[in-house]
Amino acid sequence: MTDYPYSYYCYRCGGMNKIQADVPKAPDFTHIRLICEHCDDRTNVLLSGCPDESCDRYVFWINDLAIPDLVKSLAKYFVHNLQTVIDSAAMRGFNIGIDTTENFTLRAKCSCGKPFTIDIPIPDLD
């Protein structure tokens, strides 16, 4: 994990903000909520460091939604709907098994040129 200085300009008011963020190397990540010091606007950022040991850069995804929370919400939605299909099939005498992945993968490419992925864990909801 590397402690990176991070500065950005708020897209709403234009004010400059600075933070320090502990960023793990890929495939791990950190999720932080940026809060503008000037107007209190909030933006979610997912950060992951380049896995190349000779590189100290990081990649970030900006999203108005919290990406890990979004993945968990979608997982709950799909598990609920799939369970309905499985229950309906069972009432008709069929047995359906559905395997789900354990991670949601985001692909990235560092500015050094190294491609990598980060893995957001999907909770086991069944």
Identify the weakest region by mean pLDDT among 20-29, 31-40, 70-79. 70-79
Residue 33: which domain range?
2-121
What values do phi and psi take at 101, rounded to 5? -75, 155
pLDDT of residue 85: 84
Identify the weakest region by mean pLDDT among 25-34, 67-76, 105-114. 67-76
Total tally of structural domains belonging to the chain: 1
* 22 bridge partner residues: 3
Q: Is residue 126 part of a domain?
A: no
- What's the chain's Rg over C-alpha atoms? 19
More confident residue, 115 or 60: 115
